[in-house]
Structure 1
Amino acid sequence: MFGLMFAAALANSTPVDTGRSWLTARDYPADARKRGEEGILWFVILVSPEGRVVRCDIVQSQLSSELNEKTCSLVTARAKFRPATDETGAPIYSEWQTRMEWFLPSQRQPSTTQSITMPVDMEIQVQKLPKGAREKSVGLVVKIDTDGHVTHCQGIKPDKNDAKLVNVACTQARALTMESGKDNDGRPIPFVRAMLVAFRTPVQ
């Protein structure tokens, strides 16, 4: 009997739904509504190997601490994920980030913007880019060990024309020392996360 073996690949966690069920207009705190409070916040969550949100941290926010805490509380309770996998295909902790926009119910429902719009994690200056482009971004998924070093790296759905850029980005990522991950008990953990790398040419 013969069997086929497929190489496992890193994969970041992905939401089971679109995120619209995490927060709704009904969740708007009464005090914030009275103040007419609206704005945007970025947050990062730690997803367990079982696909549960185990931690939520605000990265940037235009909002009050009340709405910040409300966001993290509801996302932690409601968000469900397909867990990330490491290079062997085994479930692993992962870091996932997005932004939330709070607007008054009379205008529109709060919505999430997926991590494709996340801030740039690393910028690389190059002399020339394909097709004369001034800038080009590539997405990576990386595994970070307990010392903050990138041990595995690959492109996120890379175009075949981006292979060289992905290789350069991964080489640069492996040279970095990043913040190591920790579980809720403060123990160091390896984890997977996405990175956005921007290549830019010098301004003429």
Structure 2
Amino acid sequence: MSAWLSIVLAGAAVSPATPVEPNTWFNSKDNPKTAMRVAERGHVTYTIDVAADGTPLRCTPDEKSDLDHDVCALVMKRARFLPAKDDQGRAVAGTYEAVASFLMPGKQRSRPDRSKLAVAVNSLPEGVTGPAFARVAFLVDGTGTVSQCTPLAAERRRFQQTVPALGPAACESLTRDYHPSPVTDATGAAVASVQSATVRFEFR
């Protein structure tokens, strides 16, 4: 086994904010015109900042068009979360990344790659082909410093090969090389948060 897969992570696990019934936040029946515009483009991606009590604070779209802001406004009316937890089990602020998408017959669009970091490697676990991905959660303090990185369970994604065994290597690279922005509360003050990210592994 490669040495970088033998990393031991210190500290207790952190957990990200968990969405409650996200499939009900935005649907074509409630918002047919906006849904059609999303389908014509393919996807709208956004990030929600979540308060320590699970309340959504703000939705920030990756792009800045009227469509993106419309989707965020609709999502914020229904978005609900179970709070993120730090390594002591305390509720803290968090972030949640999502993609709004609808399929149109005859149109196939690839999902956006929202990896926060790309890591070049000489080898991958047996049976895994590149690119491969790992999901992790981590604590971010008010200055943007990353700590307490925790690998997350694999998600069922047809468009992405998620490999839990890569979690420790993803944590090592992300803790060293990734510099996230801290979450700000309703008053604009930077606060500790649990954020999550996807790390992409590619052959050199």
Q: With structure 2 as the length reference, what TM-score do the two structures score?
A: 0.74
Aligned match of 2:108: none
Moved more, 67-76 or 51-60: 67-76
Is 2:133 the partner of 1:129? no
Instruction: Name the residue aligned to 1:151.
Output: 147
Counterpart position of 1:9: 13
How far, CA to CA, are the matches of 2:120 and 2:185 in structure 1?
A: 35
Deviation, 1:103, is 6.8
Query: Structure 1 stretches (4+) deviating beyond 4 angstroms?
Result: 32-37
Deviation string for 1:157-194 (max 9, x for gaps)? 27xx955x333222222223222221232211111111
In the alignment, what sits opposite 1:24?
27
Q: Are 2:183 and 1:191 equivalent residues in the alignment?
A: no
The question of whether the paired residues in 2 share the 8 Å contact of 1:97 and 1:118 is answered with no
Distance 1:170 1:35 in 2: 37
RCO higher in 1 or 2 (8 Å CA, sep ≥ 6)?
2
Output one character per residue of 1:31-51: Cα deviation in whole Å (capped at 9) or x when no partner: x68989833210000111111
Q: C-alpha separation between the residues in 1 aligned to 2:191 and 2:28? A: 36
Check whether the contact 2:135–2:197 (CA below 8 A) recurs between aligned residues: yes
| Pair member with larger Rg | 1
Shift of 1:84: 0.9
Instruction: Find the aligned partners of 1:36 and 1:151 in 2 and give their Cα distance.
Output: 36
What's the Cα RMSD here? 3.0
2:4: which partner in 1? none
Residues 55 and 184 in structure 1, CA contact (< 8 A), matched pair in contact too: no
Equivalent residues in 2 for 1:142-181 (5 A)? 142-157=138-153, 162-163=164-165, 165-176=166-177, 177-181=179-183
Which residue in the other structure is 1:3 paired with?
Answer: none
* Partner residue in 1 for 2:7: none
1:64-103 to structure 2, matched below 5 A, reads 64-65=65-66, 67-101=67-101
Q: In the alignment, is the contact (CA less than 8 A) between 1:98 and 1:118 conserved in 2?
A: no
**Structure 1 residues 190 and 41 mapped into 2: Cα distance closer, same or farther (>3 Å)?**
same
1:44 aligns with 2:56: no
Change (3 A) 1:33 1:173: closer
Q: Percent identity?
A: 25
Residue 62 of structure 2 corresponds to residue 59 of structure 1: yes
Q: Give how far 1:69 is off.
A: 2.8
TM-score after normalising by structure 1:
0.74
Q: Tell me if the contact between 1:148 and 1:178 (Cα under 8 Å) persists in the aligned partners.
A: yes
Aligned pair count reads 178
Which consecutive unaligned segments of at least 5 residues does structure 1 have? 1-6, 108-112
Maintained 8 Å contact 2:57/2:186: yes
